[in-house]
Structure 1
């Protein structure tokens, strides 16, 4: 990796979240400030503040393990890098054009986050500590380790270039918020955090802790219900209030008398995979307050420790086997004049020169936390990482017959929904032109048209001769649940299909596998939807069971002969007839594959 320092900053203005963003690039710093020991942390912060007040831009981070520099009672593991690091720049540069980074591959092969048995054991330990009165809440996290992959050796992409490409992919997966990429030359930190740590300007210090989570819904109606449930949840509100009270106490250490207030409580924020609850806590700081004193009062942010902070951090040190690093520390900018804005680096990836990667995931544990619910929250929070770490394109497979696209508008509407979900630029005129070219090239015959939309919104299409459909097909019931039933890569059609391929039938003569979710509800096949005849009526599973909204299924529902109903594995003996359904082949009668012969 080049030792050249590079920084990209893409922060919202916390005082005007819908206004212009601070979007700048930086390189060739005038100076680099770093602390390799606890004793040096305060001096680095003071030097960064002085440089900003002198008219410079200062960008950098403070590791979670710097906490004892501000209060020796705060325990952490030993740091694995500089405790504080800031680069001083004269002026920002223009943000690089998209094609300078976004077209490069960015793939990380991630290992498991934490096995379920260890997770349950840790939660049991935390519940014991809470019951014993040691603490009220602990933010428990684990680190997922991965390795940067080189999908095409011919490209000779450096780790620095791959890190930039991965940052672009992370931003598409988790847009908005307080994003920054810092390449120190020795390590890279790629943060797409939605959480503000603090914004301090003109004597007013604003914090916006994020605590309280709910998964996004599968459609607009369910999404609204989940937001409403989060707002009304006594458990999530209690979790949020604990951290609000902690921050009120922290802020009072540097605030003017009666200068602490809570202007907003329990606001919900929509992120791609989860709803988050935030509150605003602010203070008017005392005259002469310094940046080092602000960190001394607030660091680490209570939303990533728990309460009381000292006891929560003791539990964290006991249960988490390795340092957090910049994750859960602070990353941000001091602008010319001294105004400071820092994020809490959640949704943050660390990358070393040898391509090793790390990313932390966690949640706040209270007395009301249940292992299954917290486990599911961790899976939802990992969605941004899975989405960004392996390149994929949006996919539609259309039937082109004698120069006409079958159900073309329905396919385009579904593709547009997927583009909105994955934050992919949508230009329908461009997509229509790509389709029109294929129609002109294949005016006769029957074709399978494969339409792809990449991460930059560029469409590509290919046509393949479509063979005759079979008169009937054999299906077999999967022997294990389809754990990815509720994944976004199941709800939307993309080129990422490994989860389907893992469940494809290996039995000779079997056309496809019938899947079922962990709740025992039937969902779909790996290549199409399914219909069941029961009591003289055709039924198909509803989308909330976890399946793709197939265009062929949509057409059948609109025609009225197919209805939605939840069906379980135990309902299969009552099924009078079976059919495989997709837009490419329509409806194909199906029957069950014979059971394997006994040994």
Structure 2
């Protein structure tokens, strides 16, 4: 049994997608930090031959020391850092949740600050493209570091960002002395077990769509994109060649090519390479032969690494290195590519970002892709989906529309939803008097139903204030009704009005914090298009379907002809704009 978990002491907690469990390593009996990679690997071999586990990482630059053409290139010394453990403790998902539960608390990161000038990085991309055009290389992965501030405890931040679906090869490592590694890596570098080797290189990304339909279209577009397929194939071939160095001849296979996987903040193209380990070799031989992963270098690998060393201004360190564990006798191992990984020291963290550059890459688009990859630092999926309905003695008005909206959001975010069972529960509710019904759906499909009294109906037009939209128009929190609408609610409360109407930076109106907007003009109701950044309200959807409303861009001046706010619970409510101070009202 592993030692008791004390987060104040060094430990490593790594999710193992192969077993569907986390591996918890505590009470290290020895720590190795070395810039001599060959000697360090021999130390790890001794540890594992003596029946222990080795847990840690090799820096990206560690790959230079084992190749004579690269040895003089690193801008910082290569390193490896591992701890030695007598055993490890396996935790399934519920046990992992229970382990981390005491550490939940407020923890966020500040806005990301690239540590390179944008124009300098774009110039580096163009330089690499010139080398590609000259036939020097086919592809190179260019990266840059960024800095962020950490607010809260690292162990509180990890469960806010981590899930096995979002980061199947993620983990958190406490090094001691205020130093942590927090990894949300989705990429398996390699796994070794029972003489079998598996690698899953990733190349090709695309953002998530706001709706399930848009999301599916984006995923299909990525899967069929010629540039991304060519880039992925190039790296898959590189990984095949690397694996062949330690495998039984003829055993290397590619059982899956160009798979598109969904993660909370983006789509990722992945391929799978397998092989049989050559007799007489072990997992440490695999690590030494493959590191660093070809998906973060380019092709040809050695020349791409030379170009990277000549072009990038900062050492990579842990970023794009290898993070994982080696089992007793080095008979098994699992390493992730250390991407989407924070190196925390005190209240600051370093995050590397990068993109694969090929001949037809658009430098501006590659810069944007790098920033897209940092979205994992912000919550990118809700914990709860919500529907608020009106319960009447004869049923729930517009129930099918409410459940349709819930189902669309569940599909978009990967929530389980048993609609027939939910409909049966709703039908069994006591309906003896009008009440407010709040439905909450969590990711695993559990449903909570909350009944309360209806809010009072206001007398006369309600007072509405204009407020700046607190989120970007493309934010998923605007397009789906979730438990995370706090920014909208806070704006309403701060306004002091019954409701606030949100105004985009371009002056277009969107919606209220819990109501849709309808402007009266020439006997018609006009409501903003969903594309402007608003919730597909159930009442709004019904009025549009019945031809009683139509979509139009609206500005503050349009409110002068009269307007309503409304939702499925309250219906349409006449509204008036609150006079601003100094208007003489």
Is the TM-score greater than 0.5? yes
Quickly say closer, same or farther: Cα 1:195–1:404, change in 2 above 3 A. same
Quickly say closer, same or farther: Cα 1:511–1:242, change in 2 above 3 A. same
Q: Which deviates more from structure 2 when the two are superposed, residues 264-273 or residues 457-466?
A: 457-466
CA distance in 2, matches of 1:450, 1:297: 57
C-alpha distance after superposition, 1:428-459 (max 9, x if no partner): 999999999xx99x987876x77777889695
Alignment of 1:133-532 (within 5 A): 133=132, 135=137, 136-149=139-152, 159=153, 163=155, 165-172=156-163, 174-175=165-166, 177-186=168-177, 187-255=179-247, 260-310=252-302, 312-313=304-305, 316=308, 322-336=314-328, 338-352=331-345, 354-371=346-363, 373-387=365-379, 397=388, 466-469=455-458, 471-472=460-461, 484-497=472-485, 499-500=487-488, 511-516=499-504, 523-532=510-519
Gaps of 5+ in 1: 14-19, 150-158
C-alpha distance after superposition, 1:410-441 (max 9, x if no partner): 657756765676667879999999999xx99x
- Tell me the equivalent position of 1:36: 34
Secondary structure at the aligned position of 1:238 is classed as helix
- Tell me the equivalent position of 1:581: 566
The TM-score, its normalising length taken from structure 1, stands at 0.76
Q: How far is 1:229 from its partner?
A: 0.8
CA distance in 1, matches of 2:413, 2:104: 17
CA distance in 2, matches of 1:467, 1:79: 69
CA distance in 1, matches of 2:34, 2:290: 21
Quickly say closer, same or farther: Cα 1:314–1:485, change in 2 above 3 A. farther
Instruction: Work out whether residues 396 and 452 of structure 1, in 8 Å CA contact, stay in contact via their aligned partners in 2.
Output: yes
2:60 is the alignment partner of 1:64 = yes
Secondary structure at the aligned position of 1:193 is classed as coil
Q: How far is 1:11 from its partner?
A: 1.7
Secondary structure at the aligned position of 1:382 is classed as helix
Secondary structure at the aligned position of 2:107 is classed as strand
CA distance in 1, matches of 2:191, 2:9: 29
Gaps of 5+ in 2: 1-5
C-alpha distance after superposition, 1:90-118 (max 9, x if no partner): 35355546334235434333222246993
Instruction: Work out whether residues 392 and 495 of structure 1, in 8 Å CA contact, stay in contact via their aligned partners in 2.
Output: yes
- Tell me the equivalent position of 2:82: 85
C-alpha distance after superposition, 1:34-64 (max 9, x if no partner): 2322x1x333334434544555443332222
- Tell me the equivalent position of 1:130: 129
The TM-score, its normalising length taken from structure 2, stands at 0.78
Instruction: Work out whether residues 145 and 358 of structure 1, in 8 Å CA contact, stay in contact via their aligned partners in 2.
Output: yes
Q: Which deviates more from structure 2 when the two are superposed, residues 505-514 or residues 487-496?
A: 505-514
Quickly say closer, same or farther: Cα 1:351–1:418, change in 2 above 3 A. farther
Q: How far is 1:211 from its partner?
A: 0.5
Instruction: Work out whether residues 522 and 541 of structure 1, in 8 Å CA contact, stay in contact via their aligned partners in 2.
Output: yes
Q: How far is 1:591 from its partner?
A: 6.4
CA distance in 1, matches of 2:149, 2:291: 28
2:2 is the alignment partner of 1:10 = no
Quickly say closer, same or farther: Cα 1:79–1:407, change in 2 above 3 A. farther
Quickly say closer, same or farther: Cα 1:220–1:424, change in 2 above 3 A. closer
Instruction: Work out whether residues 519 and 559 of structure 2, in 8 Å CA contact, stay in contact via their aligned partners in 1.
Output: no
Instruction: Work out whether residues 181 and 190 of structure 1, in 8 Å CA contact, stay in contact via their aligned partners in 2.
Output: yes
- Tell me the equivalent position of 2:3: none
Q: Which deviates more from structure 2 when the two are superposed, residues 398-407 or residues 83-92?
A: 398-407
Q: CA RMSD in A?
A: 4.7
CA distance in 2, matches of 1:503, 1:238: 47
CA distance in 1, matches of 2:163, 2:422: 20
- Tell me the equivalent position of 1:16: none
Q: Which deviates more from structure 2 when the two are superposed, residues 225-234 or residues 251-260?
A: 251-260
Q: How far is 1:24 from its partner?
A: 3.5
Q: How far is 1:214 from its partner?
A: 1.5
- Tell me the equivalent position of 1:17: none
Q: How far is 1:500 from its partner?
A: 3.9
CA distance in 1, matches of 2:339, 2:548: 48
Secondary structure at the aligned position of 2:184 is classed as strand
CA distance in 2, matches of 1:36, 1:301: 20
Instruction: Work out whether residues 402 and 446 of structure 1, in 8 Å CA contact, stay in contact via their aligned partners in 2.
Output: no
CA distance in 1, matches of 2:490, 2:123: 33
Secondary structure at the aligned position of 2:123 is classed as helix
CA distance in 2, matches of 1:116, 1:594: 46
C-alpha distance after superposition, 1:500-537 (max 9, x if no partner): 4797798897953344488x976434443223567765
CA distance in 2, matches of 1:573, 1:193: 48
Quickly say closer, same or farther: Cα 1:471–1:238, change in 2 above 3 A. farther
Q: How far is 1:210 from its partner?
A: 0.3
Instruction: Work out whether residues 467 and 495 of structure 2, in 8 Å CA contact, stay in contact via their aligned partners in 1.
Output: no
Secondary structure at the aligned position of 1:28 is classed as coil
